[in-house]
Amino acid sequence: MNELIATLRAGKSVFVLTGSGISAESGLPTFRGVGGLWRTHRVEELASPEGFARDPVLVWTWYNERRGAHERAQPNAGHFAMAQLEDVLDDFTLATQNVDSLHLRAGSRNVLELHGSLRQARCTHCSAGRSLGTAGLPLDEIDHACGGRWRPDIVWFGESLPQDVWQRAREAAARADVILVVGTSAVVYPAAALATNYNRRAFVAEINPEATPISNRVACALRGSAAQVLPRIVAALSSGETASPDLFVRPCG
Ligand SMILES: [Zn+2]
């Protein structure tokens, strides 16, 4: 961890990739775990353009449940530490695969939402946007006046990431001195490529309670949740103290 802290102190540019793991301690365990319908339907039925075309009411019922769960959830110590990290670094970019808005609610500013967010719906036909309230979209308002339908403004299975967001994330990953991979198994491409594919020179650290497919390729693997580990990194950065090594299977100096 001390090498990570030293590299963060010296580093001018930090890129962070987060996934569902950082929201686990906010009560949003996994993509599949929020909302009940995933128990009886395949996720592809609920989160794909084909599934939406087949049964938009079913799809919106699921996303409205998830939207409600996001609203009830609170950012945890991991989200808040991430916002504090941004405050003390010159060039900080946070790319998240989460659609729960918890990074923004915790105060992070330079956030790239790779998979969109559930704060918005957009029209399948004219691409108009509308904000979603805490209850999501009323089920009798799915049809838009133009003949299209309102859909969640998120990336579904089989869809590309939004180009502008993806481009900015790639650039931030490429120029980073330090890359933190937090709460993601880094297996969902293309987002996972941001962790290791665009920068051979950065110091890459992984924060995850479990080993992942990239664990043996990173400079430093911290075995703990974001809520456990990130506040300690921020505290060590701001106080100058060294951090205790008990969380680490792959010593970080
Ligand atoms: Zn429309």
Tens-digit pLDDT profile for residues 195-221: 888 888 999 999 999 888 888 889 999
CB atoms within 5 A of ion ligand 1 belong to: 123, 125-126, 128, 144, 146, 148
Residue 65 CB coordination number (10 Å):
17
Q: Which residues pair with 94 in a beta bridge?
A: 16, 111
Residue 82 has pLDDT above 50, yes or no: yes
Tokens of 35: 């909302």
E strand or H helix that includes residue 81:
helix 77-88
**pLDDT of residue 248 exceeding 90:** no
Contact 18, 98 (CB under 8 A): yes
Tell me, in angstroms, the distance from the centre of ligand 1 to residue 146's CA.
4
Residues 213/185, Cβ–Cβ less than 8 Å: yes
Q: How far is the CA of 122 from the centre of ligand 1 (A)?
A: 8
Distance 160 CA to ligand 1 centre (A): 20
Band (pLDDT 50/70/90 cuts) for residue 249 is very low
Could you tell me the distance, in angstroms and rounded to a whole number, from the CA of residue 150 to the centre of ligand 1?
A: 7
Cα 63 to ligand 1 centre (Å): 19
Q: How far is the CA of 143 from the centre of ligand 1 (A)?
A: 8
pLDDT, mean of residues 78-95:
96
Cα 84 to middle of ligand 1, angstroms: 39
> Per-residue pLDDT averaged across 112-119, rounded?
96
- Active-site positions read 115
What does the angle CA 20 – CA 22 – CA 25 come to, to the nearest 5 degrees?
Answer: 105
Residue 6's contacts (CB-CB under 8 Å, 6 or more residues apart) are: 253
Instruction: Give yes or no for a contact between 192 and 170, defined as CB atoms under 8 angstroms apart.
Output: no
Check: pTM over 0.95? Answer yes or no. no
